Structure 1
Amino acid sequence: MGFSVTSMRQQPQVYAWSRFGQPEYTNWLDESLSWKDTCYIGDWSFLWQHKFRGPDVIKLFSDLSVNSFARFAPGQSKHVIHTNDGGKVIHEGILTRFPGDEYVLHGRGGFWVRYNLERGDYNASVEQDDWFIYQVSGPNSIKLLGKLDPSLSFLDTRYMWISPITIAGHRIWALRQGMAGELGFELQGPAEIGKEIYEAVLEAGQEFGIRRMGARVAMINHLESCVPTIATDYIPAIFEDELSEYLEFFLSSMPSYAQPAYIAGSYQGREISEYYRSPVELGWERNVSFDHEFPGREALMAEKAKPRRVMRTLVWNSEDVVDVYASLFREGAHYTYMEIPRDPWGFMWADRIERDGRLVGVATSRGYSYYFRKMLSLATIDVDHAEPGTEVTVIWGNPGEPEKAIRAVVAPVPYKPDRSRGDLRAAL
């Protein structure tokens, strides 16, 4: 297909990144504390939903995904990952099996599965649907949901399973998940009642300190909890000649509100494939099962046995970061501006990670955590340099602009302790 990183920098390719509500509703500092201190509601309704039915749905997903489907009961959800023959991620998303054997996949992965279904020999059907998706999470989220549905039947929900919940007289679905690394649910249902559900949650949440999550902090949520994201931490492995037909299908399926995504930062890959990532490099190795055949199986089997790079957090040196801003107040050339709390949506900002002058990884998702008062990033880093406490250097700066060497320390992922699997009843 002939895509190069240089051409992407000069001429961004339409890649379908979606808007996320308002930039901020109160202010981004206040909103960024909500999932640790009170609770928030975040609107992910821009994600695409594909609904699958038929006796071959499980076979279809098994053929295309790294996940095992030996056990997938009604009411269960999985983070499904699709890879190419080299084991690099094409797409991923959350698949839920609903009662009545309806399967709904949220995210871009629905296009890949639909594309293969329409060209394969499967006894299954697919239709695109329109749902609202509201994340309600934080220490007070369970009290809030209990106020909305006093039956409290959702308290028995296992992690990554769904339960029905009644809000504003509507029976909808609540998926227990942990995007923020805190207790919470994702409320789901038909788009036509979405506004009513949203307003009911917001009104009931006032006594619990609820905040609406704006675009400026949504990715800080992902950063602190280590949720690698398309067009932010990796480019999907769809820019190859053998997938040119799918790429055309994918781009033609995007709605009018989709935005371009492009690459910036000090890391300058020679080929677009250098921005692809495997499930192992993104920290998703636990999802990879070899009990079935799927594209990339052999490559991932070798990589999982002996990984070359893994996912970590980097804690950037505060003095060095402050100097980037200080350069704006000095005469002469200044360093590349460092947006706070993070870069605008639509960027994959990739920076070189070095140790003793040698490239050892790539930093992405850089953002400022007001809660920790630290500049953090995710990092795909060589195993030999991945031990927490290891000192490395991040090179900050766009090509052709002054570069700043910023000291950093390797830290675990997730950086924020994960409390999403805690006792729901104890949170009432």
Structure 2
Amino acid sequence: MTTQSLESLLQQAGGPVSLLRAHKYDRADARPEYQPQQIIPVIPQEFSLWERETRSWREGVSLFDQTHHMSGVFLEGPDAQQLLSDIAINDFSTSRPGVARQIVCVNDAGHLIGDGIVFHLDEQRFSAYGAGFVQNWIMFHAQTSGYDVEAVYDTKAPVYPNGYAHTRPDCRYQIQGPLAGALIEKLNGGPLGDVRFFHMTEMTIGGQRVRALRHGMAGAPGLEVWGPYEHRDAIRDAIIEAGREFGLELVGGMAYLIGAVESGWYQAVVPAVYTGDAMRAYREWLPGNLGEGMIRLSGSQAHDRIEDYYRTPFDLDYGKLIRFDHEFIGRDALLSRRDEPALQKVTLQWNTEDAASLFAEMLTPGGRDVRFLHLPVMCDKMDKHYDTLMLGARDVGNSAYTAYTANERSILSIALVDESVQIGDEVVIGWGEAGGGYGDRLVPRTDIAEIRAIVSPAPYARVAREDYRR
């Protein structure tokens, strides 16, 4: 089957909103890793119980298998560092081997395309991992902009792996929690030394030499390790065996993203690639069966213009990463916006009675046609989620990714709100689905349930705000 470009799909659907509001589950051209819309393929949904796994990174130590679900790009050559610096709001000119940093990219108008993590592996060699939007943007510039680089795409694992051979350069595991340090020291046969946050080191696990990144999640200290894919079982088994002493819990797909909500990580906004003449060449280059053509825009917030779903780095608290001392795509637009009011990222703690009422609706035959609440997470798909959010009679932003956390015994949502909203305010989430789409790919709308919620800090977890983020 011939793969259509994203631009071709947009024209076929009659525009970005129609394309993104449509369901994608029967797209014949979908690559195996994008059908259906799950983002945690291959690994089990639970190893023990998801609530028990959730508590482990707060109370003990957790092992996350990150080998499968993220897309990656390996970038190598004399111009690799310059390419990254030219497309990122943060300056890579000072990057050096052994250090990782976040990469944030915007379009020419200053709207977010996406973010990810870049690992500076060797002098002219980098890898970038994340949801795929930034990885595709890097590949485009590596192939079309005249840089002296070689770019190799590392495709994430398929949702349905049977009959689809798939290997990756590396396996990748993350060890997190208050007992992570003790486990890491045991694996290493002694202290690892003083490794600064987002700096890399090396160690031996299961007889295999691996690289490691000082990292953290949900406020818990930890390490991300990666090594040869063909030795993934030996590395994983060695971590599990050493972890028995510390009550190590393996974390499955159901619990995986709970930590992201606790940490205040806004998974992603709609990538700003669907409009604008400056982005047309990219849309014509980009295969429509990658993430940009497969995601679904969901939630009760309905706009006619896709631009109304775009956000800037300032809205997601990435303004502190911008370095205006170098030229990059979108620099002038962000420079003109830096004094404008921006949204702020907060956590919404759901009202217990309203949450219980939503479950009552779900259990009432002939009740209202509400959108059901999935536990523990509503962010386990490729959906970009936008629910209405009201403070009194005022529209104050949008609610997004939602999860139940056993650590807080609360349902939490990440939200972007305007500057008038204060911590402690009570807002109302419009919980539901606006519906939409095109042709026979229509998604039906639902009734809208009103959920009261208290505006709280992001990150919500105290340890994440006061220790990890410090």
C-alpha contact 1:34 1:138 (8 A) present in aligned 2: yes
Tell me which residue corresponds to 2:218. Answer: 180
1:301 maps to which of 328, 335, 359: 335
In the alignment, the residues of structure 2 paired with residue 395 and residue 286 of structure 1 have an alpha-carbon distance, to the nearest angstrom, of: 31
Alpha-carbon distance between aligned partners in 2 of 1:253 and 1:10, rounded to the nearest angstrom = 14
Q: Deviations over 1:218-271 (max 9, x none)?
A: 1111100012223xxx1212222543543454436859xx99431222111223
Match of 2:414 in 1: 378
CA distance in 1, matches of 2:224, 2:104: 20
Partner residue, 1:240: 275
CA–CA distance in structure 2, aligned partners of residues 52 and 246 of structure 1: 19
Could you say which residue in structure 1 is the equivalent of 2:186? 147
Where 1:26 maps in the other structure, the secondary structure is coil
Supply the distance in 1 between the matched residues of 2:463 and 2:117 (Cα, whole angstroms). 19
SS in 2 for 1:383: coil
Matched, 1:19 2:58: no
Change beyond 3 A, Cα 1:118–1:329: closer
Aligned residue among 94, 98, 102 for 1:71: 94
After the TM superposition, which of the residue ranges 54-63 and 315-324 deviates more from structure 2? 54-63
1:289 corresponds to: 323
Which range is displaced more, 36-45 or 120-129?
120-129
What SS is found at the alignment partner of 1:395? strand
Q: From the superposition, tell whether residues 6 and 48 of structure 1 become closer, same or farther in structure 2 (CA, over 3 Å).
A: closer
Taking structure 2 as the reference length, the TM-score comes to 0.82
Aligned residues: 416
- Summarize the alignment of residues 6-405 of structure 1 with structure 2, pairs less than 5 Å apart: 6-12=18-24, 16=34, 18-20=39-41, 21-46=43-68, 47-107=70-130, 108=132, 109-129=134-154, 130-153=169-192, 155-230=193-268, 234-240=269-275, 242=277, 243-247=279-283, 249-251=285-287, 254=290, 260-330=294-364, 332-334=366-368, 335-343=370-378, 344-385=380-421, 387-399=422-434, 400-405=445-450
Distance 1:8 1:126, change over 3 A: closer
CA distance in 1, matches of 2:194, 2:124: 22
CA distance 1:420–1:190, change in 2 (3 Å): farther
Counterpart code for 1:224: E
CA distance in 1, matches of 2:377, 2:412: 10
The alpha-carbon deviation at position 105 of structure 1 amounts to 1.4
Segment of structure 1 superposing worse, 361-370 or 91-100? 91-100
Measure the CA separation in 2 of the matches of 1:116 and 1:332: 53
- The answer on whether the counterparts of 2:85 and 2:93 sit within 8 Å (CA) in structure 1 is no
Tell whether the 8 Å contact from 2:97 to 2:121 is kept in structure 1 after alignment: yes
1:178 aligned counterpart, secondary structure: strand
Q: What is the SS of the residue equivalent to 1:177? A: strand
Deviation at 1:422, TM superposition (A): 6.3
Q: Once the two structures are superposed, what CA deviation does each residue of 1:126-147 show, in whole Å capped at 9, x if it has no partner? A: 2335221211111111111111
After TM superposition, the structure 1 stretch with the greater mean CA deviation from structure 2, 274-283 or 184-193, is 274-283
Give the Cα separation in 1 of the matches to 2:225 and 2:281: 35
Sort the Cα spacing of 1:214 and 1:336 in 2 relative to 1 into closer, same or farther, 3 A: same
User: TM-score, structure 1 length as denominator?
Assistant: 0.90
Distance of aligned partners of 1:211 and 1:403 in 2 relative to their CA distance in 1, 3 Å threshold: same
Match of 1:416 in 2: 461
Q: Is the 8 A contact 2:387 2:429 kept in 1?
A: yes
Distance of 1:53 and 1:79 partners within structure 2: 18
Question: 2-side partners of 1:336 and 1:126: how far apart?
Answer: 42
- Partner Cα distance (2:289, 2:357) in 1: 44
Q: Are the structure 2 counterparts of residues 125 and 346 from structure 1 closer, same or farther at C-alpha, using a change threshold of 3 Å?
A: closer
Assess, with a 3 A threshold, how the Cα gap between structure 1 residues 24 and 269 changes in structure 2: closer, same or farther.
farther
- Deviation of 1:413 after TM superposition, in Å, equals 1.1
Percent identity over paired residues = 28
Contact 1:38–1:208 (8 Å) recurs in 2: yes
Query: What amino acid sits opposite 2:219 in the alignment?
Result: G
